[in-house]
Amino acid sequence: MQTGGRQGPEIWLRGPVPLPVANGPHAEAPETPERPSSIATTPRRRFSWVATHGGTGVTTLASVYGGQDCGRDWPAPEDPPSILLVARTHAAGLAAISRALDVFRRGEAPPGLDLDAVVLVADAPGRLPRQLAHYVKAIESMIDVYRVPWVPSWRIGDLTGDPPRETEALARLTGSTHHPR
């Protein structure tokens, strides 16, 4: 990746990056103003949940973790541009997520969208069959993947409990007010 005429490693950073002061080799770093304690927490980042196929559970995920439920559509202009692509862990779901990732790879996604991660929702209780687990590893080599286990209460529409402990990283990412159990 080329940046400002210099070549370096490809690093993805979120948020502003302070620029170094160019007053010579012994220049002191600029002072960073202290952050008032009332601003110590960052605002909750909002996401658009986008289903890569029917039955992924984006409505449930948006209800539990917050964010915009876009169904199988791209986010509207007023929706958050940060996207979480969602699929079930069955063969058809993993193929659908691969096709969606290819849309981003080829630059065919609508402009202004930011693909943040993939969320894979268990299609059944228990471990994945070996061939599906290999497919998931291939996806994980391309992008951050958050896994959501089978939650029996969600199946019957009971979203009152806390999300499962296995989704703690997803809860942190989305800034969910629920605390994984």
* Residue pLDDT, tens place only, 15-49: 444 444 444 444 444 443 443 333 334 455 789 99
Q: What is the mean predicted confidence (pLDDT) over 63-79?
A: 95
Judged against a pLDDT cut of 80, whether residue 50 lies above it is answered with: yes
- By residue count, the chain amounts to 181
Q: Determine the pLDDT at residue 7.
A: 41
| Cα-only R_g, the chain | 20
What is the pTM for the complete model shown? 0.75
Confidence label for 10 from pLDDT (cuts 50, 70 and 90)? very low
Query: What residue has token string 């299609």?
Result: 123
pLDDT at 115: 96
Determine the average pLDDT of the residues in 42-69.
Answer: 90
132 three-state secondary structure: helix
| pLDDT for residue 87 is more than 80 | yes
Q: Using 50, 70 and 90 to split pLDDT, how confident is the model at 12?
A: very low
How do the domains of the chain map onto residue ranges?
Answer: 48-174
CA trace torsion 140, 124, 172, 117 (10° rounding)? 30
Q: Is residue 93's pLDDT more than 90?
A: yes
* Per-residue pLDDT tens digits for 107-162: 999 999 999 999 999 999 999 999 999 999 999 999 999 999 999 999 999 999 88
Element spanning 7, H or E: strand 6-7
| pLDDT category of residue 176 using cuts at 50, 70 and 90 | confident
8 A C-beta contact, residue 106 and residue 139: no
Q: Closest Cα to residue 133, out of 86, 90, 175, 164?
A: 90
157's tokens: 């529409």
Mean pLDDT for 81-90 is 97
* pLDDT greater than 50 at residue 6: no
Mean pLDDT of 52-79: 96
Amino acid 178: pLDDT: 63
